[in-house]
Amino acid sequence: MFYGIIIRLFLLDNKHHNTPHIHARYAEFEASVGIEDGEILAGNLPRKQLRLVQAWIELHRDELMADWELAVNGEEPYKITPL
């Protein structure tokens, strides 16, 4: 969690979007955001919060991809440092 944005990576979550992604929630907004390109796959976030999420993804892309592999295999992902 950073700046009021909650980031989640769900176990076995590769069937819905079939691409590596995270779930970001801010107030009443929620979106699935691609790890590889930072683009919204579903839902929406305010522009400012989306930019923060995209910056965080950019800084932690390798860690996120490693966690994605763990999660889709049903293993617990590691925690990643917030912004």
Domains of the chain, by residue range, sit at: 5-72
More confident residue, 67 or 11: 67
The helix/strand/coil state of 72 is: helix
Write down the residue that tokens 């889709």 correspond to.
72
**Number of residues that make up the chain:** 83
Extract the tokens encoding 35.
């790890």
Residue 21, both tokens: 């992604």
What global pTM score does this model have? Answer: 0.91
The rounded distance, in Å, linking the Cα atoms of 70 and 77 is 6
The 10s digit of each residue's pLDDT in 14-68 is 766 679 999 999 999 999 999 999 999 999 999 999 999 999 999 999 999 999 9
Give the three-state DSSP class for 17.
coil
